[in-house]
Amino acid sequence: MAFIVSILIAYILGSIPFGLVIARTLCSTDPREGGSKNTGATNVARLCGTKYGIMTLVLDVLKGMLPVLFAANWIDSHLALSFVALAAILGHIFSCFMHFKGGKAVATTIGAFFALAPWATFFSAALCLGMVALTGHVSMGSLTVALALPIFMALTGNFGYVPVALIVMVILFWRHKDNIRRLARGEENPWIKPKE
């Protein structure tokens, strides 16, 4: 019963579209209609301002982290906790509050995995930030964290979470397929516009 309740809580919390709520409430903008048409922190920052993007980022991280930490109080199984983390991530992608549509779930993934294995996730997130700083593309950072998570899970001895990290890697690459095409064509918009 604790497992089922944890899965439901994770999915429902993961489904809350914080980016949409923040953008519509605080800056009267629907992120689904502007920019990349995504409800994630990057698009909210572009459309509404950096502080709103950061607010979205923090809340999206927390909605991945909190249900896993909650479940860990009752569940002591790598497999079961992996399903809870996956439920939060899939909630963001297939939100029950947005007709089962959603975002790319990078921030929620980082939050969920930070609750599972903090150090592995910290190293992965650090590489993500480094790649964004190096390339100027948030999508490159997102793809980097997707690749890094299963590697650092293994390197830090968290072998029980390697399978779910591999599954999430595939999901994140699938969610970024359009970004990958634009990157290949050199058409991906940078996070910060270059100075002319």
pLDDT tens digits for 138-189?
999 999 999 999 999 999 999 999 999 999 999 999 999 998 999 999 888 7
pLDDT of residue 94: 96
Which residue matches tokens 């968290």?
158
pLDDT of residue 192: 55
Pick the closest to residue 11 from 111, 89, 110, 107 (CA basis).
Answer: 89
pLDDT band at 195 (very low <50, low <70, confident <90, very high): very low
Q: Is there a contact between 54 and 30 (Cβ–Cβ < 8 Å)? A: no
38: alpha, beta or left? (left if phi > 0; alpha if psi -120 to 50) = beta
Pick the closest to residue 88 from 107, 77, 1, 79 (CA basis).
Answer: 107
pLDDT of residue 38: 87
Average pLDDT of the chain is: 93
High-pLDDT (> 90) share of the chain, %: 83
Rounded CA separation 144/25 (Å): 32
pLDDT band at 111 (very low <50, low <70, confident <90, very high): very high
pLDDT of residue 187: 85
* pLDDT greater than 90 at residue 87: yes
* pLDDT greater than 50 at residue 48: yes
pLDDT, tens digit, for every residue of 2-38?
899 999 999 999 999 999 999 999 999 999 998 878 8
Q: What does pTM read for this prediction?
A: 0.92
Pick the closest to residue 52 from 66, 33, 31 (CA basis).
Answer: 31
